[in-house]
Amino acid sequence: MKAKLLMAFSVCFALLFESGALIAQQYHLKRIQPSAKQGLSQAVIIEGAELLHTTQLLPMDSRGNIQGGCTADQTAAILKMLDAIIAQMGTSKSSLVKLNFYLKTDSDRQVVINKLNDWLDEVNLPAVSFVQTRLPNLKAKVALDAVIASSKQSTVSKETSVSQSCPEVAILPRGDVVYVSGQAEKGDLKEATGKTLESLLRSIQQMGLDRRNIVAYKCFVPSMEQIGIVNAQIAEFFDGESIPAVSHVEWTAGSAYPIEIEMIASAPVSQSSQSVTYFTPEGMKASPVYSRVARIHGDKRIYISGLYSSRPGNGEEQTRDIFKTLDSLLKQSGSDFNHLAKATYYVSDSDASSQLNKLRPLYYDPKRPPAASKAMVKGVGRQQRSLSLDMIAAPVAR
């Protein structure tokens, strides 16, 4: 009798597992210094997961109308959109790895944090970053994009990175990940966008990858009024195929180019004694403060929340304080400065920008700096600050 019951239980368990009704999380996710007050974890370590990257979510309905007039209502609207994506992709809020918020004004930061805390619980806090920027819909006060862990598996060599079931999501499958620093080409906005997309593609083609491996773009543009030109060029580049996740940030000054674009791409698992390696594509010059391309080998990554100085100060004081905090977080997460893979620097004044340029070489090995973009923006997402660092790292050992 016991044997029959055991057999029946085993058959039932197998059927449930195959149907998807009983799925164990196969990945490992660890949160470093979670803080309910701040609404975030200072870092999130993720291993063994397929990572879902959402496009930039704006608080708009299907007709393109803004939902909600105030920031609180708009934040609730985009979190509801994220809820729907999470459900559609078969994952959960506990799988959130990173949220990037785009704010029209720095003063709305606490409003967003309050809404985020209402939406989440105090256990499953993701890494979070903020930046102040006008948005593609000029009536929007807030937007976000997200990185979400999933236990599913995709095959890069046979499938596009874009989810067919949910067009707002692009899939970074298990395996390696490639971060390409912001690139820029000259010309008017239309010409420069097309040439930059081609340049980014050539960079990964030298690694044996193609446009099917492209997972996400972040575009830095001088004016959101012209964002339709950028989106049209991206659509043309993919020639009717589904488009990877795309986010936009408005920069304010400091570039001779009309657009800069950074990129994330998937890659098959490769053999390396290092957890992260760095690459300079043919025709480009290497730099001691950033790598043109960084590749994390394997599927263990460390996402760090947007970092600010602990107190207001000039550019040098903020930069030194942030790198001190970064050093501590990297050690707690099993990494260090020699294993940074991706950096996005947001600066809102010339002092912060120049001091960051001056001090970065003190912390980076000139042969191993992270892939990076630096954008002069209206605000860095926190009042009385003019510098923020958004980082991704690899573990010291694979």
What is the structure's pLDDT at 3?
46
Residue range 249-277: average pLDDT? 91
Angle at 79 between CA 76 and CA 80, to 5 degrees: 85
Answer whether residue 122 shows pLDDT above 80. no
Tokens of 273: 């004694």
Tokens of 308: 């600010």
Answer whether residue 344 shows pLDDT above 70. yes
Answer whether residue 11 shows pLDDT above 80. no
Answer whether residue 116 shows pLDDT above 80. yes
Answer whether residue 322 shows pLDDT above 50. yes
What is the structure's pLDDT at 164?
66
Answer whether residue 314 shows pLDDT above 80. yes
pLDDT band at 2 (very low <50, low <70, confident <90, very high): very low
Length of the chain: 398
The CB density around residue 259, as the number of other CB atoms within 10 Å, is 27
Q: Where are the beta strands (DSSP E) in 241-339?
A: 245-250, 260-267, 276-279, 293-296, 300-307
The residues with which 261 forms a beta bridge, in sequence order, are 183, 219
Q: What is the pTM of this model?
A: 0.92
Rounded Cα gap, residues 87 and 214, in angstroms: 24
* pLDDT tens-digit series, residues 78-113: 999 999 999 999 999 999 999 999 999 999 999 999
* pLDDT tens-digit series, residues 49-79: 999 999 999 999 988 899 999 999 999 999 9
Residue range 335-359: average pLDDT? 97
pLDDT band at 37 (very low <50, low <70, confident <90, very high): confident
Rounded Cα gap, residues 95 and 146, in angstroms: 11
Answer whether residue 19 shows pLDDT above 50. no
pLDDT band at 186 (very low <50, low <70, confident <90, very high): very high
The CB-side HSE value for 263 (13 A sphere, CA atoms) comes to: 29
Answer whether residue 195 shows pLDDT above 50. yes
pLDDT band at 133 (very low <50, low <70, confident <90, very high): very high
What is the structure's pLDDT at 128?
98
For the chain, domains (ranges, CATH) are: 25-152 (3.30.1330.40), 307-398 (3.30.1330.40)
Answer whether residue 277 shows pLDDT above 50. yes
Cβ burial, residue 2 (10 Å; 0-12/13-18/19+): exposed
Q: What is the three-class DSSP state of 151?
A: coil
Answer whether residue 154 shows pLDDT above 90. no
* pLDDT tens-digit series, residues 222-237: 999 999 999 999 999 9
What is the structure's pLDDT at 73?
97
What is the structure's pLDDT at 70?
96
What is the structure's pLDDT at 56?
98
Q: Of 188, 149, 187, 186, whose CA–CA distance to 171 is shortest?
A: 149
